[in-house]
A = this chain, B = another copy of it.
Amino acid sequence: MDLRAFIDEMELLAPPSLAEEFDCGRIGLVVEGRPDISRVCCALDATPYVVQQAAGAGADMLVVHHTPLWTPVTALTGPIATLMRQMLTAEMNIYVMHTNFDRAPGGVNDALAELISLSDTTPLSLGLVGSCPLTIAEISQRLGGNIRVWGELPSLSRLAIVAGSGFDPVLLAEAKERGADAFLSAELRHAVARAAPLPCIEATHYALEAPAMRRLAARKGWQYIDDPPKIHPVV
């Protein structure tokens, strides 16, 4: 498939106009390789391991959620030089879908909702609220563990979810107002937890966002390359 046609297809899936302003220049084609796409890989991040696997698989295109060039660069040295050399030498394209995919129908939040069997959902300004039939232990299992509950979890009839870093005071207040009993997201900071108006369920960023990329790969027939962070809780 022609690169332009591939991009058009992706833009239908996750329209760039849905992205946050801070994503401007950081989504879409961020590394340009071969103009013809026959083999596509998919991952959450373009880590060295992911790029190596994709190159080994002969991929022309790697679709990821997080750009490897977030901070604007005026130099390619150290690890970023190594990574760019690997990509450019392999003539691999990198295509990024970030906050536009978070918000797209069937995107990151919807994939997470599906994974934990939410039903009867209503949207928040970011993420959504839905009825959850699972216990917290079942949620943890589906998300691969590494779950922490902050506060007392009375029940889980209505659960707010924001894939990514969604523990924002404004979002927490909105979720509570919409009837949520708990809030599931990643990267809960101390100051936010101290003033949280409802119990918080903290999972890893990877656990909440990778499902959407995995599901996308499955639907498209692409190879998904799994590279979760290695975390060991210590009792």
Contact = CB atoms under 8 A, between A and B. Distances in A.
Contacts of A147: 233-234
B72 A148 contact: no
Interface stretch (A102-110, A117-125, A185-193, A216-224): A185-193
A1 interface: no
A112 B85 CA distance: 37
A207 to B, nearest CB: 10
Given A84-B84, A140-B234, A32 B77 contact: yes
B77 A235 contact: no
Interface string A2-27: 00000000000000000000000110
A177 interface: no
A117 to B, nearest CB: 17
A81 interface: yes
Interface string A134-167: 0011011000011111111100000000000100
Contacts of A233: 147-149, 233
Contacts of A186: 190
Contacts of A73: 69, 72-74
Contacts of A30: 74-77
B78 A32 contact: yes
A149 B234 contact: yes
Interface string A45-87: 1010000000000000000001101111111111101001100
A194 B205 CA distance: 11
Contacts of A84: 76, 84, 88
20 contacts: A31-B76, A31-B81, A32-B76, A32-B77, A32-B81, A66-B191, A70-B191, A72-B72, A88-B88, A136-B234, A137-B234, A137-B235, A146-B148, A148-B231, A149-B231, A150-B231, A186-B190, A189-B205, A193-B229, A233-B233
